[in-house]
Amino acid sequence: MRVAMIGTGYVGLVSGTCFADFGHVVTCIDKDAGKIDALNAGTIPIFEPGLQDLVAKNVAEERLFFTTEPDDAIREADAVFIAVGTPTRRGDGHADLSYVYSAAEEIAGLINGFTVIVTKSTVPVGTGDEVEAIVRRTNPEARFAVVSNPEFLREGAAINDFKRPDRVVVGTESEEAVEVMRELYRPLYLNETPIIVTKRRTSELIKYAANAFLAVKITFINEIADLCEKVGANVQEVSRGIGLDNRIGSKFLHAGPGYGGSCFPKDTLALSRIASDAGSSLKIIDSVIEVNAARKKKMADKVIDFMGGDVNGKTVALLGLAFKPNTDDMREAPSIDIVEKLQAAGAKIRAYDPASMEEAGHMMSDVLFCDGPYHAIENADVVVIVTEWDQFRALDLERVKSLLKTPRVVDLRNIYTQDYMNAHGFEYTSVGRSY
């Protein structure tokens, strides 16, 4: 099959590369000439394990192309994917669809023969209808179907998530389009991946409902963690105790500093707006948004309390800044709120993150970015583990102790245990674990 992928952001680049690796011929299109030049020179603009090699392989095998010129690729395509950004619109929580709609107009003038137009971007319910109307209006003769095909990729694990998904969701009423989509995903039949075919609006909602449910799960366990601290319980044991019930499931029950990233915060807000626009209410989601935002700030209070209520003039060493490991993404990362609040309380911040320090440099000021975890810890009064990168899981604790002014650790990801840290001579606190 021939695929045109509009947008070389996270979703477009990963999806385009993986479709090429499935054996299809894929052209990734972006208006940003600098980005396309870089990609053609083999430079990947995002940090995603395995992506660089997979791009190089498929470029070398002449199945993956990058261009700023959409014409030929769209004309020849069996499927054109719209994978442009849908940021939160300034001032309200709605998704900004202007990039999606301008892509639709561009596609309309170029398609040739039956073409499936696929929205891969996360878009509010009814966007597919609007895309269809735009294409129809711009090119009344065109033969096409608009399909919703949401992505469920996690940053840091995106290639595996694409190639071994739990399910593929295809939203369309066109049989012809379903056949094209099945052909595109045919390599997944070997793993017997379920392909769910629904109406387009249902598919659009599935994406938001999935992300919102995961955000609920995380926020639920975070509140249970707070309760554990008050009543002498241990949230990791609670997670295990409830997660082994198949109806609940054990994933996404890790308590921490609150969810961040480019998806959960944006999508929960957009879903809440979709509901209120439709005259429906989603009180659970509204609470989750509020609780999570407050939680990120509360994590700084946790550090301050641990330091006896005062961090003025103290040095805090942060390990990890990205919103999760294996990414350089700083969007909505809890570290931003933590740094802001600790600085307001008079603390000096040293920090180390294996991937996100350049990004972090644009988002926080007066932070000393260090060369490694031990450099960050040097002469600090306390270490705060913010992101659970593997390299922080097995620190040389004797070295940590010798570098710190006082051996104190706040572990916001629960990667160490109370007994272990106490045995190594640390004062230690974590999230939701009274023991």
Residue 35 touching ligand UGA (CB under 6 A): no
Residue 336 touching ligand UGA (CB under 6 A): no
Query: Judged by CB under 6 A, which of 65, 152, 352, 369 binds ligand UGA?
Result: 152
CB of residue 218 to ligand UGA, shortest distance in Å: 4
CB of residue 155 to ligand UGA, shortest distance in Å: 4
Residue 254 touching ligand UGA (CB under 6 A): yes
Tell me, yes or no, if 370 is annotated catalytic: no
CB of residue 72 to ligand UGA, shortest distance in Å: 29
Query: Judged by CB under 6 A, which of 128, 171, 261, 354 binds ligand UGA?
Result: 261
Query: Judged by CB under 6 A, which of 16, 256, 407, 432 binds ligand UGA?
Result: 256
CB of residue 189 to ligand UGA, shortest distance in Å: 22
**Which CB atom, from 217 or from 408, has the smaller least distance to ligand UGA?**
217
Pick the stretch among 78-86, 167-175, 259-267, 372-380 that binds ligand UGA (CB under 6 A): 259-267
Residue 13 touching ligand UGA (CB under 6 A): no
CB of residue 235 to ligand UGA, shortest distance in Å: 11
Residue 320 touching ligand UGA (CB under 6 A): no
Q: x/- site string to ligand UGA, residues 211 to 230, per CB under 6 A?
A: x--x---x------------
SS3 readout for the chain: CEEEEECCCHHHHHHHHHHHHCCCEEEEECCCHHHHHHHHCCCCCCCCCCHHHHHHHHHHCCCEEEECCCHHHHHHCCEEEECCCCCECCCCCCECCHHHHHHHHHHHCCCCCCEEEEECCCCCCCHHHHHHHHHHHHCCCCCEEEEECCCCCCCCCHHHHHHCCCCEEEECCCHHHHHHHHHHCHHHHHHCCCEEEECHHHHHHHHHHHHHHHHHHHHHHHHHHHHHHHHCCEHHHHHHHHHCCCCCCCCCCCCCCCCCCCCHHHHHHHHHHHHHHCCCCCHHHHHHHHHHHHHHHHHHHHHHHHCCCCCCCCEEEEECCCCCCCCCCCCCCHHHHHHHHHHHCCCEEEEECCCCHHHHHHHCCCEEECCCHHHHHCCCCEEEECCCCHHHCCCCHHHHHHHCCCCEEEECCCCCCHHHHHHCCCEEEECCECC
- Region 115-134 residues binding ligand UGA, contact defined as CB under 6 A: 122
Residue 151 touching ligand UGA (CB under 6 A): yes
Query: Judged by CB under 6 A, which of 21, 30, 106, 155 binds ligand UGA?
Result: 155
**Which CB atom, from 221 or from 370, has the smaller least distance to ligand UGA?**
221
Residue 352 touching ligand UGA (CB under 6 A): no
CB of residue 261 to ligand UGA, shortest distance in Å: 4
Residue 264 touching ligand UGA (CB under 6 A): yes
Catalytic residues, by residue number, are 263
Residues making contact with ligand UGA (CB under 6 A): 122, 151-155, 211, 214, 218, 252-254, 256, 259-261, 263-264, 323-324
